[in-house]
Amino acid sequence: MQRLIEKGLMFGNLIEVSSPQLVERYNRALKHLTGKQTAMKDFHIDISGYSPEIGDELGDDLYLNPNGCNRQFILLTTSQKTAPLLNMKFSTARGILQQFIEANESQLFALTARDAVAGELQNSIYEISSPAKLLEIRQITVEADTIGGHVADANKLAKLIDRFRQEPDGWRDDLLMADMITLAKKTGDVTRVPINLPAMTFQQPSFWTSHFGGLYVFRDVKFPGVITAKPRQGLGKMPVSSAMDLSQRNEIAEWLERNGLVEPIVQARGMDAAGVLRQKMDFVLVDAAEALDLEIGDARRTDLRKIAYRLGDTLPEEFQGLGALLRWVEGAGDWPRITSEHRAYFYTLRASAGPQRDLVNMLLSELAPMDVRQMFIVHKELFYAQYATWSDRKRQYVADFLEREYKVDAQGAREALFGPEPSMDNRHRPEHKAARDLAAAVGPWGSVNRGRS
């Protein structure tokens, strides 16, 4: 992993904490939330205040996320909103924290100038003993305050001020006035500079979780479903009609199509389909070379082409399917029939625009695992787990590629591959539409439920 860290592909954009004042504030917050403290004088934190260095020190990577279902957080600065979320257990957690910080940025800026802010992403359950428990999670409520309780004290002071104004003899109530003065010493003049950090509630109808080996929950679609990375039988009884595992390719393909969640990349507006297909083919060849222990040289396209020549008719099915589609895109071949049973099928798709876009792309990265660029962008937990299993040769190729082709313009690369970012405002969600033109009625490349015909 050191190679990824050095290239800024792992633990990138973390916030450095090195001043004695901020370290002391962090320790007060850590003591308040967990009863623990750190002896470290400098470290880095993510958007939730989690530090990988402190996780190593405490021997607990979940010291801010007990049971993995109600994540606590520590805010030292509003700059944390741009940091990643490490050890992610739910795909929605970072977006919720980011929205919370942005919605309360001015208040948080003032509060963190005097103290650390600590809080929790609360859901309706406290433990996850079975997959079915996950579907009891419907919404997440974010509550936070400074360690000194400035927000709570400001609310008390505001109520006392109202009482003082409303009671005819309020100015004669010495105890009331003494309480107001005591609180005002902590909060300042809340009539001129109000302190308000209201609880915020976010709906969580669809999400990915790392629990139970990885699970996708889709509830805000026409046909709700659950997809697991492990065998379907391990889920037990689930309160949804569609429960599948990754081996059920036909069923997943049909379900995605029925919900209008995917579109063929050759029909995606503004996408350089030929360039994307070529890059996917390169990734397939690198994976094939890895499996056969073949040298890939500098892994340039000319080197990879030599591997393709050497493999001949034993080229992976994914490469052949993508190659046929590339020839059609460039006008050098007929329209290929690629059913959901074809190993190239999920490599030819991307998520349709909509609130589930990122979640669907995460799912596609598991169904098309040789596309390491997509996996790195949309599913870093899976990428890091896969990276640990590769040879040093493949690690070097992938790290160099991502540094060269992705890191220089990460936002541009994401939009080129997946389209514009979906709106964070889920109050007005666009309806999904089925894939167009050639895909209408029979799926992107042919019938998704008649692949054997």
Per-residue model confidence as pLDDT tens digits over 76-109: 999 999 999 999 999 999 999 999 999 999 888 8
| Position 427 confidence tier, pLDDT thresholds 50, 70, 90 | very low
Report the share of the chain in percent with pLDDT over 90. Answer: 58
The domain spans of the chain are 2-146+198-203, 151-187, 207-439
| Position 155 confidence tier, pLDDT thresholds 50, 70, 90 | low
Residue 433 has pLDDT above 70, yes or no: no
CA–CA distances in Å: residue 89 to residues 66, 69, 120, 157: 11, 7, 14, 38
Instruction: Report, as an integer, the average pLDDT of 8-34.
Output: 94
| Position 66 confidence tier, pLDDT thresholds 50, 70, 90 | confident
What integer pLDDT is reported at residue 152 of this predicted model?
A: 66
Per-residue model confidence as pLDDT tens digits over 191-213: 555 667 888 999 999 999 999 99
Q: What would the two tokens of residue 152 be?
A: 């709570």
Residue 419 has pLDDT above 90, yes or no: no
| Position 214 confidence tier, pLDDT thresholds 50, 70, 90 | very high
What integer pLDDT is reported at residue 23 of this predicted model?
A: 96
What integer pLDDT is reported at residue 50 of this predicted model?
A: 97
What integer pLDDT is reported at residue 451 of this predicted model?
A: 40
What integer pLDDT is reported at residue 63 of this predicted model?
A: 96
| Position 377 confidence tier, pLDDT thresholds 50, 70, 90 | very high
What integer pLDDT is reported at residue 313 of this predicted model?
A: 81
Secondary structure in 3-state letters for the chain: CHHHHHCCCCCCCCEEECCHHHHHHHHHHHHHHHCCCCCCCCEEECCCCCCHHHHHHHCCCCCCCHHHCCCEEEECCHHHHHCCCCCCCECCHHHHHHHHHHHCHHHHHHHHCCCCEEEEEECCCCCCCCHHHHCCCCEEEEEEEECCCHHHHHHHHHHHHHHHHHCCCHHHCHHHHHHHHHHHHHHCCCCCCCCCCCCEEEECCCEEECHHHCEEEECCCCCCEEEECCCHHHHCCCCCCEEEECCCHHHHHHHHHHCCCEEEHHHCCCCCHHHHHHHHHHHHHHHHHHHHCCCCCCCCHHHHHHHHHHHHHHCCHHHHHHHHHHHHHCCCCCCCCCCCCCCCHHHHEEECCCCCHHHHHHHHHHHCCCCHHHHHHHCHHHHHHHHCCCCHHHHHHHHHHHHHHHHHHHHHHHHHHHCCCCCCCCCCCCCCCCCCHHHCCCCCCCCCCCCCC
Instruction: Report, as an integer, the average pLDDT of 263-275.
Output: 90
| Position 295 confidence tier, pLDDT thresholds 50, 70, 90 | confident
Q: Give the C-alpha separation, 68 to 63, whole Å.
A: 10
CA–CA distances in Å: residue 102 to residues 71, 73, 107, 203: 19, 15, 10, 17
Residue 46 has pLDDT above 70, yes or no: yes
Q: Which residue has the higher pLDDT, 144 or 363?
A: 363
Q: What would the two tokens of residue 208 be?
A: 């990915």
What integer pLDDT is reported at residue 240 of this predicted model?
A: 85
What integer pLDDT is reported at residue 212 of this predicted model?
A: 93
Q: Give the C-alpha separation, 420 to 270, whole Å.
A: 10
Contact residues for 32 (Cβ-Cβ < 8 A; gap 6+): 118, 147
Q: Which residue has the higher pLDDT, 1 or 250?
A: 250
Highest mean pLDDT range out of 174-183, 302-311, 332-341, 357-366?
A: 357-366
